[in-house]
Structure 1
Amino acid sequence: MISDFCQKKTIFPFYYKKILLPAIFLSIVRSCIKPPKRGVQAFLSIFVPATTFMQQEISKEEARRLALYAQGLLNTQPNRGKAGALQVVEHLGYVQIDTLAVAARAHHHTIWTRTPDYEENHLHQLLAEDKTVFEYWSHAAAYLPMRHYRYTLPVKARYATGKSHWFEQNKAMQQHVLERITAEGPLQSKDFEDENSRSRGMWEWKEAKRALEQLFLEGRLMVAARKGFQKVYDLSERVLPARVNTTLPTDSEMGLHMVQTTLQQHGLATEAEMYYLRSHWKKAVQQALQQMLESGAVAQLCVEGKENRYALGTVAETVLNNKPDVAATSGLHILSPFDNLVIQRKRLLRLFDFDYQIECYVPEAKRKYGYYCLPVLWNNRFIGRLDPKADRKTGIFYVKKWFTEPDLPSVSDWQPALEQKLLEFARFCGCNKIVDFI
């Protein structure tokens, strides 16, 4: 039986000699001096010490499949309507907000990719009417699930106890802003404009706008809605539904939340990716990860003999065993530059061999692919980069540039899917005609 156990292909060969056999010997010795355990736990303890976890080796193709499934790109039944949009935000944990509207704004684009009949007013309804999502800072400005609200409280507490944004605080102005909103109700930054003031440039915000931002970061104000693309602020107690848990999470709860949400949205991740841009939570994440490994909630993986990664055990089982609710392929997707699948560029390169950056922040003379180049995914690989421009006034969707990735299958395999997706994306961007400059 032991020899059969050792022949499992999912375990590293070196594991047998370096870890497993010594563990068996130590376990036998240990059993002679300690009372025996019972049931399955007793059986497993014969083979694996308490601090050692079996590591499953998977191929890069399997790793990509895990990632795509977790990202909602391998669903056999796509999300639908406003409820589907909420499912996307809740599953991904956040959807990044961006001001660029070259094609579709990032937050709308990311949801549409996973909800084919998504409409832009759905997000407004979720924020302003249903109050099932809210705005705050993730790694960037984002829409987050309202059920995750309490996990933003630690960072808000840091701002409230002295941490500022990139500007000096004006306490008197903050008090003035709070008094006006308390008395008048929800207000925008333009409601504080001085008609005689001169513009100071985009990086020199008016004192009132700075105060609004600081109070928002502290959690004393929330975004109640948006008009156009402008925030409407109100007191947090008037925005938060009564059902929302507002207790400050413990370090242990934060660690478990970060591990759970990272693996839920990414499928698999390294330990460092779980506290990406939040290194002050490193210890809490490490402790939570250890706890979830010991309970069996998390599986330890290794992609083609390289860096250790982790996945939720039930998700790994579903995807790697090809359960019926996992689609065979992802089809073709034109992704936002800020889509959750591609936002961590180093991770993207390691997992998909796709070296990508958005070039709108690159001087024009140094751009290689275009101002607003979009990554194009087909099945489990990136096949190209598209530089578009949607002119909503004329209804024309311009394809300014197209770049095909090297070593692709025959064009005939993916071109029909690309043409169909371009039509769908153009319509979503408010255009009914495509002009191709390629």
Structure 2
Amino acid sequence: MSDPVTADPMLRAFLLDRLGLRGPLWAADMAARSAQDLGMIQIDSIRVTGLRNHEIAWAARTDAPVADFYRLLYDARGMLETHYPIFATRRDWLPWFLKDFGKTISADRLAEMRPLMRRLTRHIAEHGPVSPADFQSERVTGGFNTIKATTKALEYLFYLDKVQIAGRTTHFHRLFDLTERIAPELLRPVPEWRRKSGLFFVQSALSVLKLATPQQLAERTAHHIGSWRGGGLPMARLLVAKARERGLIVPIPFDGKEMHLALQSDIDAFASRATLEDDVVRLLPPLDNLLFSRRRLTELFGFTYKFEAYTPQHQRRFYFALPILYRDAIVGQIDIKKGGAIWQILDLDIIAPVPLDGLRGAIHRLGRIAGAGEVKSSNRLAAKWRRGLSGTISF
């Protein structure tokens, strides 16, 4: 869905640049460091395209193999996976994000689960990382309905900082290992001054968004604080105002209305890249960092995105629609499904000019990364796009 765009194009260029979606793709030797600068990358298990959300987000920014993302996450551990919402998150942020999460567990429920938690802890200490799939147990309340008691116990151990997500199985099940093996610094207390200030949550929120109105930043700050700490949006607004007073976040200088905030470090980094030209066509995942604030996406790009994967089939047009980014515009969206070696374009909605060759290159490149050998197009597509986008993927 497209709406009129009234925002300064420089704002869009700034946002895309700081999110790694403008200019040349990241060089392979810089990809891990650049990914950490995003702060968070959302992880999702849906794999209808042959690639998961975080894998598409990685591919939209770099030609480095997707395996390099997993090495960053589970080997080098420059980022660590949090449980819910499921993000790859900068490791140095986690002492502040994860602390106090255990307070969400009721005392009675915790007492009931402790014997099982102790058994699981001993098992991990003796045998190494485990997946919930490794155990059979009774089902208890949890998840979307019920969940295995062992799975719930592992989640409680995570909430209490006893275990961390150490990797994924071939079926993408989480692997849990002891925190002392994965990130022992998480066992140390958070400095009291940092706990009290709350400004870390504002700065981390803006590090993720890169550009935000005060309201958008307050909403993201509340998300970073977490509902279990209390305060909600009113506290987040006060913290944003406090961060502005202290100069920790600043109005972006080329926004005449001074309604958008950014970190000074991002403003400085953009200064030398403002005139950079970009002709790369990119396919973005539904949960990309650019879409973390859907209101901002609409305001800056005139494009309203709806993630329809959980919408009843008869009420949706797309299932896993990928927004198409060209230069500083969202030019459409595409719905693709992988079956065997075929990357099938189910539907395509083009709302602004995009070069056919550039779009074909983006589709075929991502199809190649997904392991497809051929692109086929549904008859829903206009003949121009069907002919121009279909064909054998070259390797």
- Name the TM tier (shorter chain): 0.7 to 0.9
**Pairwise CA distance, 1:101:** 0.3
**Pairwise CA distance, 1:74:** 2.1
Q: Which amino acid aligns with 1:80?
A: A
**Pairwise CA distance, 1:269:** 1.0
Q: Which of 352, 356, 374 is 1:433 aligned to? A: 374
Which whole-Å deviations, capped at 9, do the CAs of 1:140-192 have from their partners, x for residues lacking one? 2011121222122334353467598xx99633322322232233322111222
2:177 and 2:184 map into 1 onto residues whose CA distance is: 13
Change over 3 Å in CA distance of 1:328–1:153 after alignment to 2: same
Which whole-Å deviations, capped at 9, do the CAs of 1:286-327 have from their partners, x for residues lacking one? 5654555445453225997768321223433554xx524762
Find the residue that maps to 1:170 and give its secondary structure: helix
Q: Which of 65, 78, 84 is 1:132 aligned to? A: 78
1:312 and 1:149 map into 2 onto residues whose CA distance is: 20
Alignment of 1:274-423 (within 5 A): 274=217, 275-277=221-223, 278=226, 280=231, 289-290=240-241, 292-294=243-245, 296-301=247-252, 308-316=259-267, 319=270, 323-324=272-273, 327-329=276-278, 331-368=280-317, 370-391=318-339, 393=340, 395-405=341-351, 408-409=352-353, 413-423=354-364
1:256 aligns with 2:199: yes
Larger radius of gyration: 1
The gaps in structure 1 that reach 5 residues or longer are: 1-57
TM-score w.r.t. the length of structure 2 is 0.80
Alpha-carbon contact 2:81-2:88 (below 8 Å) kept: yes
Find the residue that maps to 2:260 and give its secondary structure: strand
**Pairwise CA distance, 1:93:** 0.9
Alpha-carbon contact 2:59-2:366 (below 8 Å) kept: no
Find the residue that maps to 2:320 and give its secondary structure: coil
**Pairwise CA distance, 1:241:** 5.2
Alignment of 1:41-52 (within 5 A): none
1:185 aligns with 2:128: yes
Change over 3 Å in CA distance of 1:193–1:380 after alignment to 2: same
1:175 aligns with 2:121: no
Structure 1 partner of 2:156: 214
2:168 and 2:72 map into 1 onto residues whose CA distance is: 12
The gaps in structure 2 that reach 5 residues or longer are: 1-5, 382-395
Q: Which amino acid aligns with 2:121?
A: L
1:120 aligns with 2:101: no
Structure 2 partner of 1:142: 87
1:324 and 1:387 map into 2 onto residues whose CA distance is: 32
Alignment of 1:142-161 (within 5 A): 142-159=87-104
Using the TM superposition, name which of 340-349 and 154-163 deviates more.
Answer: 154-163
Alpha-carbon contact 2:179-2:187 (below 8 Å) kept: no
**Pairwise CA distance, 1:135:** 1.0
Change over 3 Å in CA distance of 1:124–1:93 after alignment to 2: same
Q: Which amino acid aligns with 1:226?
A: R
2:207 and 2:144 map into 1 onto residues whose CA distance is: 37
How many residue pairs were aligned?
362
Which whole-Å deviations, capped at 9, do the CAs of 1:67-108 have from their partners, x for residues lacking one? 1111111245x32336513421x1111111101001110111
Which whole-Å deviations, capped at 9, do the CAs of 1:350-370 have from their partners, x for residues lacking one? 2211111111111111113x1
